């Protein structure tokens, strides 16, 4: 499998170098470069394909004899860490309306916003040679080469700050038994208003042991200097990396994750896209909140307690004043929600079945409207 994996990279690199004389190719052909660095640039902007490509390289390439830098950019997406809670980290309702997916990566760390103005870098190495500080020196060195005098520095948390204050890069990592990767973002020209609107909790009152992101002021590099475009930074990063890790003069190799040569990536991307991974792998959490109910000028409050495990409702308590909803319908709705996914589509289906079972128009118009309002507010909570 390792030999086949290297052949895939060699074949794609050879295709990218086809215009060069054969004498300039290492060994006349291929990429047999023990101890050297290699820079790959993904042609995909699909967050799930690129996350799957990371894992493919980690799992299939012999990283003892070479190091690899993967450069990639995505269409708009929010990426949470392996041990995070998406309901706590981002506004899932706004994301659904905006067509922005949520992804869960296999590394730890905090939540990040991706779009074409946010450059992603993944440094692959053997576990023995894993060195985040060295990797970040490549990044800061590239920025200083483009803009001498720019104040960028890595922190003890392996973030990169601009002017000692603005976070332009965050770090996460995956450490395998023999291989490792360290990836980081670099804010070049990201949509900051969209970033700010999406990185807010879906609902309040969440109690969880999930890893929480640490908010920090951010700035785009292009706001600091318009010449620091994603394209110019990509070129300089490649040069800096190859100078640091050695390349034999190879150019950046474009790769397409959907190429059949990367066996299994489509299946891996589909698994990363699935609800059971993006939401179902959330650490257990609870929600304690209040819903404001209205019926014309009249109003009431519903208290809600939910316990969610593996993305499904494990316990639910709904309390509403009996004079508002007599006969115990809140408790019956709570019972119906048990086992359902904590998501609006499944909750809406449960609510619809509940309202039919409660008798529809036979409940009386006013009671029916109040039940409908309670159901709508419960669905909106998710």
298-309 and 312-319 beta bridge pairing: antiparallel
Alpha helices in 300-364 (DSSP H): 329-337, 344-357
200/169 same-domain check: yes
For residue 7, what pLDDT band results from cuts at 50, 70 and 90? low
Distance CA 360, CA 42 (A): 54
172/247 same-domain check: yes
Distance CA 260, CA 152 (A): 40
pLDDT of 64: 87
Do 119 and 71 meet the contact criterion of CB atoms below 8 Å apart?
yes
pLDDT digit string, tens, across residues 37-52: 899 999 999 999 999 9
Distance CA 25, CA 260 (A): 24
- Residue 33 pLDDT > 50, yes or no? no
pLDDT digit string, tens, across residues 229-249: 999 999 999 999 999 987 655
pLDDT digit string, tens, across residues 137-146: 999 999 999 9
- Residue 304 pLDDT > 50, yes or no? yes
214/270 same-domain check: yes
- CATH number for the domain spanning 365: value is 3.30.390.50
Answer positive or negative: Cα dihedral of 227, 254, 37, 47: positive
pLDDT digit string, tens, across residues 335-381: 999 999 999 999 999 999 999 998 754 467 888 899 999 999 999 99
Strand partners, 341: 312
pLDDT of 24: 25
124/77 same-domain check: yes
Average pLDDT over residues 315-331: 95
Last residue of a domain, one of 278, 301, 318: 278
Q: Which of 311, 277, 280 is nearest to 48 (CA)?
A: 277
Do 189 and 219 meet the contact criterion of CB atoms below 8 Å apart?
no
pLDDT of 360: 54
Distance CA 154, CA 149 (A): 15
Q: What are the distances in angstroms from CA 86 to CA 161, 311, 369? A: 25, 10, 31
Exposed / middle / buried, residue 28 (Cβ in 10 Å: 0-12, 13-18, 19+): exposed
pLDDT digit string, tens, across residues 163-181: 999 999 999 999 999 999 9
Neighbouring C-beta atoms of residue 250, cutoff 10 Å: 22
Do 115 and 194 meet the contact criterion of CB atoms below 8 Å apart?
yes
46/156 same-domain check: yes
Task: Print the domain residue range for 15.
Answer: 2-278
- Residue 2 pLDDT > 70, yes or no? no
- Residue 79 pLDDT > 60, yes or no? yes
pLDDT of 246: 78
Helix (H, G, I), strand (E, B) or coil at 68: strand
74/188 same-domain check: yes
Distance CA 343, CA 169 (A): 31
233/334 same-domain check: no
Do 306 and 342 meet the contact criterion of CB atoms below 8 Å apart?
yes
325, two tokens: 């909803």
Query: Who wins on pLDDT, 97 or 27?
Result: 97
- CATH number for the domain spanning 17: value is 3.30.930.10
104/204 same-domain check: yes
pLDDT digit string, tens, across residues 256-284: 999 988 989 999 999 999 999 999 999 99
220/314 same-domain check: no
pLDDT of 328: 92
Exposed / middle / buried, residue 200 (Cβ in 10 Å: 0-12, 13-18, 19+): exposed
Distance CA 124, CA 132 (A): 10
For residue 251, what pLDDT band results from cuts at 50, 70 and 90? confident
Last residue of a domain, one of 278, 294, 313: 278
Q: How many domains does the chain have?
A: 2
Helix (H, G, I), strand (E, B) or coil at 11: helix
In total, the chain counts a number of residues equal to 382
Distance CA 128, CA 130 (A): 6
pLDDT of 66: 84
225/272 same-domain check: yes
177/245 same-domain check: yes
- Residue 65 pLDDT > 90, yes or no? no
Last residue of a domain, one of 262, 278, 294: 278
41, two tokens: 């640039």
Average pLDDT over residues 305-319: 98
Neighbouring C-beta atoms of residue 1, cutoff 10 Å: 10
Nearby residues of 327 by Cβ (< 8 Å), 6 or more positions away: none
Distance CA 257, CA 73 (A): 13
Distance CA 291, CA 333 (A): 15
Distance CA 241, CA 124 (A): 12
pLDDT of 10: 56
For residue 22, what pLDDT band results from cuts at 50, 70 and 90? very low
254/323 same-domain check: no
pTM of the full predicted structure? 0.88
**3-state DSSP helix/strand/coil % of the chain, to nearest 5:** 40, 25, 35
Q: Which DSSP helix (H) or strand (E) runs through 187? A: strand 179-187
pLDDT digit string, tens, across residues 92-136: 999 999 999 999 999 999 999 999 999 999 999 999 999 999 999
């Amino acid at each position: 499998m390792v030999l086949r994996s290297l052949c895939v990279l060699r074949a794609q690199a050879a295709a990218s170098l086809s215009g060069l004389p054969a004498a300039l190719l290492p060994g006349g052909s291929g990429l047999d470069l023990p101890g050297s660095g290699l820079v790959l640039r993904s042609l995909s902007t699909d967050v799930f394909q690129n996350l799957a490509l990371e894992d493919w390289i980690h799992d299939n390439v012999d990283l003892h004899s070479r190091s690899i830098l993967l450069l990639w950019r995505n269409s708009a997406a929010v990426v949470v860490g392996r041990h995070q809670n998406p309901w706590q980290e981002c506004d899932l309702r706004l994301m659904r309306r905006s067509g922005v997916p949520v992804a869960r990566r296999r590394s730890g760390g905090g939540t990040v916003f991706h779009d074409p103005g946010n450059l992603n870098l993944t440094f692959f190495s053997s576990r023995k040679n894993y060195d985040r500080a060295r990797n970040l020196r490549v990044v800061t060195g590239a920025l200083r080469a483009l803009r001498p005098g720019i104040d960028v520095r890595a922190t003890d948390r392996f973030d990169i700050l601009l002017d000692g204050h603005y976070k332009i890069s965050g770090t996460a990592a995956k450490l395998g038994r023999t291989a490792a990767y360290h990836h980081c973002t670099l804010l070049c020209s990201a949509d900051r208003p969209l970033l700010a609107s999406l990185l807010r909790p879906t609902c309040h009152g969440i109690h969880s042991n999930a890893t929480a992101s640490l908010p920090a002021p951010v700035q785009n590099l292009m706001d600091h200097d318009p010449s620091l475009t994603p394209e110019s930074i990509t070129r300089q990063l490649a040069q800096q990396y190859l100078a640091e890790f050695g390349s034999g003069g190879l150019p950046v190799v474009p790769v397409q994750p959907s190429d059949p040569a990367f066996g299994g990536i489509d299946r891996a991307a589909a698994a990363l896209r699935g609800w059971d991974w993006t939401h179902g792998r959330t650490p257990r959490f609870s929600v304690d909140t209040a819903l404001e109910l209205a019926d014309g000028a009249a109003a009431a409050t519903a208290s809600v307690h939910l316990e969610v495990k593996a993305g499904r409702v494990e316990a639910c308590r709904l309390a509403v004043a009996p004079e508002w909803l007599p006969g115990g319908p809140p408790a019956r709705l709570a019972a119906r929600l048990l086992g359902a996914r904590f998501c609006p589509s499944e909750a809406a289906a449960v609510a619809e079945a509940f309202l039919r079972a409660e008798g529809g128009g036979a409940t009386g118009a006013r009671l029916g409207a109040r039940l409908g309002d309670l159901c709508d507010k419960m669905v909106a909570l998710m």
